[in-house]
Amino acid sequence: MRHSPGPDLLYDLAEDHSAIHFRLARPLSNADGVATLLDQHVTEAWDFPDAATATVRHVADVAGQTPITTSILSEGDLPRLPAHAQHLLVCFGRRCMEQGSPDAYRLLTTTLTALGLDSGPDRVKVSRTKCLSPCAAAPVACLYPKGDFVARLDAATVPSFIEETLVAGRPLPGRTFQAG
Protein backbone atom coordinates (compact mmCIF):
# COMPACT_ATOMS: atom_id res chain seq x y z
CA MET A 1 0.00 0.00 0.00
CA ARG A 2 1.25 3.46 -0.93
CA HIS A 3 1.94 5.86 1.94
CA SER A 4 0.00 9.13 1.72
CA PRO A 5 1.87 12.42 2.17
CA GLY A 6 -1.15 13.77 4.05
CA PRO A 7 -0.40 12.28 7.50
CA ASP A 8 3.28 13.31 7.35
CA LEU A 9 2.29 16.86 6.48
CA LEU A 10 -0.21 16.94 9.34
CA TYR A 11 2.39 15.63 11.80
CA ASP A 12 4.82 18.32 10.63
CA LEU A 13 2.14 21.00 10.97
CA ALA A 14 1.19 19.77 14.45
CA GLU A 15 4.83 19.93 15.51
CA ASP A 16 5.26 23.46 14.10
CA HIS A 17 1.95 24.74 15.52
CA SER A 18 1.61 23.15 18.97
CA ALA A 19 -1.32 25.38 20.00
CA ILE A 20 -3.49 23.86 17.24
CA HIS A 21 -4.94 20.38 17.57
CA PHE A 22 -4.89 18.40 14.32
CA ARG A 23 -6.93 15.26 13.85
CA LEU A 24 -6.67 12.91 10.92
CA ALA A 25 -9.76 10.91 10.02
CA ARG A 26 -9.56 7.50 8.44
CA PRO A 27 -8.27 7.48 4.85
CA LEU A 28 -10.84 8.33 2.19
CA SER A 29 -9.49 5.72 -0.16
CA ASN A 30 -6.39 3.84 -1.19
CA ALA A 31 -7.08 4.59 -4.85
CA ASP A 32 -4.32 6.16 -6.88
CA GLY A 33 -4.59 9.92 -6.98
CA VAL A 34 -6.43 10.43 -3.66
CA ALA A 35 -3.24 11.10 -1.72
CA THR A 36 -2.00 13.44 -4.44
CA LEU A 37 -5.31 15.30 -4.47
CA LEU A 38 -5.30 15.59 -0.66
CA ASP A 39 -1.76 16.90 -0.73
CA GLN A 40 -2.70 19.43 -3.43
CA HIS A 41 -5.68 20.72 -1.39
CA VAL A 42 -3.65 21.01 1.82
CA THR A 43 -0.89 22.86 -0.06
CA GLU A 44 -3.44 25.25 -1.62
CA ALA A 45 -4.97 25.95 1.78
CA TRP A 46 -1.59 26.72 3.39
CA ASP A 47 -0.41 28.79 0.43
CA PHE A 48 -3.59 30.89 0.46
CA PRO A 49 -2.82 34.62 0.68
CA ASP A 50 -3.80 36.50 3.79
CA ALA A 51 -7.27 38.02 3.88
CA ALA A 52 -5.95 41.54 3.45
CA THR A 53 -4.58 40.78 -0.03
CA ALA A 54 -6.99 38.11 -1.30
CA THR A 55 -9.46 39.15 -3.98
CA VAL A 56 -12.88 37.64 -4.65
CA ARG A 57 -11.56 36.39 -7.98
CA HIS A 58 -8.55 34.70 -6.29
CA VAL A 59 -10.75 32.99 -3.69
CA ALA A 60 -13.08 31.78 -6.46
CA ASP A 61 -10.14 30.48 -8.51
CA VAL A 62 -8.77 28.51 -5.54
CA ALA A 63 -12.24 27.11 -4.79
CA GLY A 64 -12.85 26.28 -8.45
CA GLN A 65 -15.87 28.58 -8.62
CA THR A 66 -16.98 31.50 -10.73
CA PRO A 67 -17.33 34.66 -8.65
CA ILE A 68 -20.54 36.63 -8.81
CA THR A 69 -19.71 39.95 -10.36
CA THR A 70 -22.00 42.92 -10.37
CA SER A 71 -21.59 46.33 -11.80
CA ILE A 72 -21.33 49.26 -9.44
CA LEU A 73 -24.36 51.53 -9.57
CA SER A 74 -23.86 55.12 -10.58
CA GLU A 75 -24.93 57.85 -8.19
CA GLY A 76 -28.72 58.13 -8.30
CA ASP A 77 -29.24 54.71 -9.94
CA LEU A 78 -31.20 52.05 -8.11
CA PRO A 79 -30.88 48.27 -8.56
CA ARG A 80 -33.41 46.36 -10.64
CA LEU A 81 -34.78 43.18 -9.11
CA PRO A 82 -37.00 40.56 -10.71
CA ALA A 83 -40.64 41.28 -9.91
CA HIS A 84 -42.20 39.18 -7.19
CA ALA A 85 -45.70 39.15 -5.75
CA GLN A 86 -44.69 37.87 -2.32
CA HIS A 87 -41.52 37.50 -0.30
CA LEU A 88 -41.31 34.69 2.25
CA LEU A 89 -38.61 34.97 4.90
CA VAL A 90 -37.87 31.54 6.41
CA CYS A 91 -36.15 31.65 9.79
CA PHE A 92 -32.82 29.84 9.99
CA GLY A 93 -32.18 30.70 13.62
CA ARG A 94 -30.92 27.85 15.83
CA ARG A 95 -34.31 26.87 17.27
CA CYS A 96 -36.09 26.99 13.89
CA MET A 97 -33.36 24.90 12.29
CA GLU A 98 -33.66 22.33 15.08
CA GLN A 99 -37.42 22.19 14.45
CA GLY A 100 -37.13 21.66 10.67
CA SER A 101 -36.82 24.96 8.81
CA PRO A 102 -34.14 23.60 6.42
CA ASP A 103 -36.47 20.79 5.30
CA ALA A 104 -39.37 23.23 4.96
CA TYR A 105 -37.18 25.63 2.95
CA ARG A 106 -36.07 22.88 0.54
CA LEU A 107 -39.65 21.68 0.04
CA LEU A 108 -40.90 25.26 -0.43
CA THR A 109 -38.35 26.09 -3.10
CA THR A 110 -38.76 22.82 -5.03
CA THR A 111 -42.57 22.95 -4.89
CA LEU A 112 -42.70 26.61 -5.93
CA THR A 113 -40.42 25.78 -8.87
CA ALA A 114 -42.63 22.83 -9.86
CA LEU A 115 -45.70 25.10 -9.73
CA GLY A 116 -43.97 27.81 -11.78
CA LEU A 117 -44.13 30.26 -8.87
CA ASP A 118 -40.39 30.87 -8.84
CA SER A 119 -40.54 33.37 -11.73
CA GLY A 120 -42.88 35.81 -13.42
CA PRO A 121 -45.31 38.28 -11.88
CA ASP A 122 -46.69 35.70 -9.40
CA ARG A 123 -43.20 34.82 -8.17
CA VAL A 124 -42.78 33.99 -4.50
CA LYS A 125 -39.27 35.00 -3.50
CA VAL A 126 -38.03 32.77 -0.67
CA SER A 127 -35.13 33.90 1.52
CA ARG A 128 -33.42 32.41 4.56
CA THR A 129 -33.02 34.78 7.49
CA LYS A 130 -31.45 34.87 10.90
CA CYS A 131 -33.74 34.63 13.93
CA LEU A 132 -37.20 36.15 13.47
CA SER A 133 -37.77 35.96 17.28
CA PRO A 134 -40.99 34.00 18.04
CA CYS A 135 -38.96 30.88 18.88
CA ALA A 136 -41.84 29.21 20.73
CA ALA A 137 -43.59 28.88 17.35
CA ALA A 138 -40.57 27.39 15.54
CA PRO A 139 -40.09 26.95 12.68
CA VAL A 140 -41.33 30.42 11.77
CA ALA A 141 -41.64 32.34 8.51
CA CYS A 142 -42.83 35.85 7.67
CA LEU A 143 -44.69 36.68 4.47
CA TYR A 144 -44.54 40.10 2.84
CA PRO A 145 -46.16 42.37 1.78
CA LYS A 146 -48.80 41.44 4.40
CA GLY A 147 -46.30 40.97 7.23
CA ASP A 148 -48.03 37.78 8.40
CA PHE A 149 -46.01 35.32 10.47
CA VAL A 150 -46.54 31.59 10.07
CA ALA A 151 -46.02 29.32 13.08
CA ARG A 152 -44.71 25.75 12.95
CA LEU A 153 -44.00 25.87 9.20
CA ASP A 154 -42.42 22.44 8.88
CA ALA A 155 -42.26 20.18 5.83
CA ALA A 156 -45.61 18.58 6.71
CA THR A 157 -47.31 22.00 6.68
CA VAL A 158 -45.69 23.31 3.47
CA PRO A 159 -48.22 21.87 0.94
CA SER A 160 -51.25 23.37 2.72
CA PHE A 161 -49.36 26.64 3.32
CA ILE A 162 -48.58 26.95 -0.40
CA GLU A 163 -52.14 26.13 -1.43
CA GLU A 164 -54.01 28.18 1.20
CA THR A 165 -51.71 31.14 1.77
CA LEU A 166 -49.35 31.62 -1.16
CA VAL A 167 -51.81 30.68 -3.93
CA ALA A 168 -55.29 31.43 -2.49
CA GLY A 169 -54.19 34.35 -0.29
CA ARG A 170 -55.90 33.06 2.86
CA PRO A 171 -54.33 32.76 6.30
CA LEU A 172 -53.41 29.23 7.35
CA PRO A 173 -55.85 28.38 10.19
CA GLY A 174 -54.14 28.09 13.55
CA ARG A 175 -50.76 29.03 12.08
CA THR A 176 -50.93 32.65 10.87
CA PHE A 177 -50.42 35.59 13.25
CA GLN A 178 -49.35 39.23 13.21
CA ALA A 179 -46.59 40.91 15.21
CA GLY A 180 -47.68 43.13 18.07
pLDDT one-digit tens code per residue, 59-108: 666 666 666 666 677 888 887 777 889 999 999 999 999 999 999 999 99
CA distance 139 to 97: 7
CA distance 44 to 34: 15
**Residue 141 burial (C-beta neighbours within 10 Å; 0-12, 13-18, 19+):** buried
Residue/partner pairs of 23-27 with CB below 8 Å, 24 or more apart: none
Section 9-15 average pLDDT: 71
Section 124-133 average pLDDT: 93
pLDDT confidence of residue 78 = 84
pLDDT confidence of residue 22 = 65
Band of pLDDT at residue 177, cut at 50, 70 and 90: very high
- Kindly report the CATH number that applies to the domain delimited by 86-177: 3.40.30.10
Band of pLDDT at residue 1, cut at 50, 70 and 90: very low
User: Is the pLDDT confidence value at 58 over 90?
Assistant: no
pLDDT confidence of residue 36 = 77
Q: What is the pTM of this model?
A: 0.60
CA distance 167 to 161: 9
pLDDT confidence of residue 89 = 96
User: Is the pLDDT confidence value at 25 over 80?
Assistant: no
Q: Where in the sequence of the chain do the CATH 3.40.30.10 domains occur?
A: 86-177
